[in-house]
Amino acid sequence: MKKTVITIIRIAIGWHFLYEGCVKLFSDNWTSASYLVNTRGFLSGFYHWLAASPARLWLVDFLNIWGLILIGVALFAGLFARWASLAGALLLLLYYFAYPPFGYTMFEGMGSVYIVNQQLIEATMLVFLFCFNIKGYGLDNVIGWLRKKRPTAPDSAVPASDADGSVNSRRAALKELISLPVLGLFGWGAARRDKIYGIDTLSGATVQVNRVALGELKGELPKGKIGNQVLTRLVMGDNHIGAVAHARDLMYVGSLMRAYNTEKKIFETLMICEQAGINCINIGFPNLEMLVKYRKVTGSKMKIISQVGIRDQKNEDIFEDIKVCIDNGIDMIQIQGSWGDWLSRDGRFDVIDGMLNLIRRNGIVAGLGAHAIDTLILCEEQGIIPDYYMKTMHNDQYWSAHPRANRKPFEVVGYGTPGVYIDYLNNDRDYFRDNCWDTYPDRTVEFVNRVKVPVMGFKVLAAGAIHPKDAFKWAFENGADFICVGMFDFQVVNDVNICLDTLQNLQHRKRAWYS
């Protein structure tokens, strides 16, 4: 019974190794480059060194592929199984420490588990097999039997094996070969699957880190200063985290975003942002708890700008969100764009002023957000000047933007009760339907270019309607000191590079940098 259990464990791990190695071998142009380049554990320097040289990388790929295959065959067939167990354990530990499931990298590896993952479990089992040298059925026993060449004896008179598990009968020898037909069966199944579906791209052997390699970054993002905070010119947005799709009439997009952006994926995306040099995220208040958790779990130093509004409409506790942000150590606080619009539209400038003053009294940078340029103009006329403005900044040269003649001030937030978003059900594309967030871009440009405080542009892509190359250029040339952009994990490096290219080749900006 003990031999059977050991054999099953060894065969299972052996098949895992063999399958991973074969998938790599037969996958066109497979390389470990992306896997190595993007490691960030405490041994990341070693893995980056391996990937830095084409010769070293070739050797790593060769040893990785054939190491997996040979270890897998040895374990599966029980051939030199003890030493194959040791080699397999060492290889698994190399994988384990590339993306260790603890500290800053725990969400990047084989699952959001703490310390113990599949790699460590398999490595532990292989160390057990090596240390205790427990023999199951396999070719090692057959080889031992052939070497001893014991005289033939009736099966009833001679035990099938000695105490150390070696074979001393032909019947027992055949039993030791049980793994070979099993290997053939597994191999047939894998070959059949490959013929039907192609190479297994979900295998750990072929999955690449789902982003452009960080080695393709073109440089370091420039920074600017707002108050006492130093921020990268490109700031991460959070609409993708909260599944705020702004997808016009494609109602299913929000559901797709929620399905894709699990907590693990969100944490991975934030980690990629930091690796790419982005040091700040601007979030809606509902996402505050998740970002606070992210900083605690990973030890991240990413700065958080939290948007605030008035949740308690009945009692009008205008400071509730602000107090929560202060208690959680948020770096910057701004009045959320919709709330800036609602309060300005209804003439409640005392509320805006009171919120900004409370933020400042606590030594925190205070911002004012808006979709409508009228919000910022009216507040300025009342003498309300924040530490920075956050304003939608995009052109309207895309097909789904409704005609200028049909646009109205404050139409982005509707004309109903503050805090209640209007569901625009009209199907007439000639009027606003979640399709244009800077309704008067010429007025926005005029205002931004005359104010003397920093400006952060948001919705610069018009929710995906404008290509980043055009959107970034338009926003920076027309006066934005920072831009806030929501990004999926696979977009981060490209967006950083586009931002770098844009800033390095900016020619028509007239406004001074107020940061």
What would the pLDDT profile of 276-333 be if each residue is shown by its tens digit? Answer: 999 999 999 999 999 998 888 778 899 999 999 997 666 667 899 999 999 999 999 9
Dist CA 352 CA 312 (whole Å): 15
Task: Please state, rounded to an integer, the average pLDDT across all residues of the chain.
Answer: 86
Using 50, 70 and 90 to split pLDDT, how confident is the model at 353? very high
Element (H, E) at 258: helix 253-260
pLDDT value at residue 315: 63
- Answer whether residue 135 shows pLDDT above 50: yes
Q: What confidence tens digit (pLDDT) does each residue in 330-347 have?
A: 999 999 999 999 999 999
| β-pair partners for 455 | 389
Geometric angle at alpha carbon 282, from 276 and 288, rounded to 5°: 110
Pairing outcome for strands 223-226 and 229-232: antiparallel
What does the domain layout of the chain look like in residue ranges? 2-138+178-197, 224-504
| β-pair partners for 332 | 305, 365
Averaged pLDDT, 7-18: 90
Q: Is the pTM of this model over 0.95?
A: no
- Answer whether residue 22 shows pLDDT above 50: yes
Closest CA to 497 of 507, 511, 487, 508: 487
Dist CA 10 CA 359 (whole Å): 62
Closest CA to 236 of 286, 291, 299, 289: 291
pLDDT value at residue 367: 98
Geometric angle at alpha carbon 192, from 189 and 194, rounded to 5°: 110
Q: Look at residue 455 and give its three-state secondary structure.
A: strand
Q: What confidence tens digit (pLDDT) does each residue in 464-486 have?
A: 999 999 999 999 999 999 999 99
pLDDT value at residue 502: 98
CA distances from 63 to 31, 59, 60, 300 (A): 12, 6, 5, 35
- Answer whether residue 506 shows pLDDT above 50: yes
pLDDT value at residue 189: 75
Instruction: State both tokens at 356.
Output: 């900004």
Options 3.40.50.261, 3.40.50.10490, 3.20.20.100, 3.40.50.2300; CATH of 224-504? 3.20.20.100
pLDDT value at residue 184: 75
Instruction: State both tokens at 301.
Output: 């130093």
Axis crossing angle, helix 492-504 with helix 468-477, rounded to the nearest 10: 40
pLDDT value at residue 205: 45
- Answer whether residue 137 shows pLDDT above 90: no
Q: Which residue has the higher pLDDT, 471 or 116?
A: 471
Least-confidence region, from 17-21, 156-160, 268-272, 369-373: 156-160
What letters, b where the CB count within 10 A reaches 16 and e where it falls short, cover 217-243? beeebeebebbebebbbbbbbbbbbbe
Dist CA 78 CA 65 (whole Å): 20
Closest CA to 386 of 368, 370, 369: 368
Averaged pLDDT, 484-497: 94
- Answer whether residue 42 shows pLDDT above 50: yes
Which residue's structure tokens are 């530490």? 387
Which residue's structure tokens are 């190399």? 94
Pairing outcome for strands 388-392 and 482-485: unpaired
CA distances from 160 to 138, 303, 356, 440, 445 (A): 14, 69, 86, 90, 90
pLDDT value at residue 230: 97
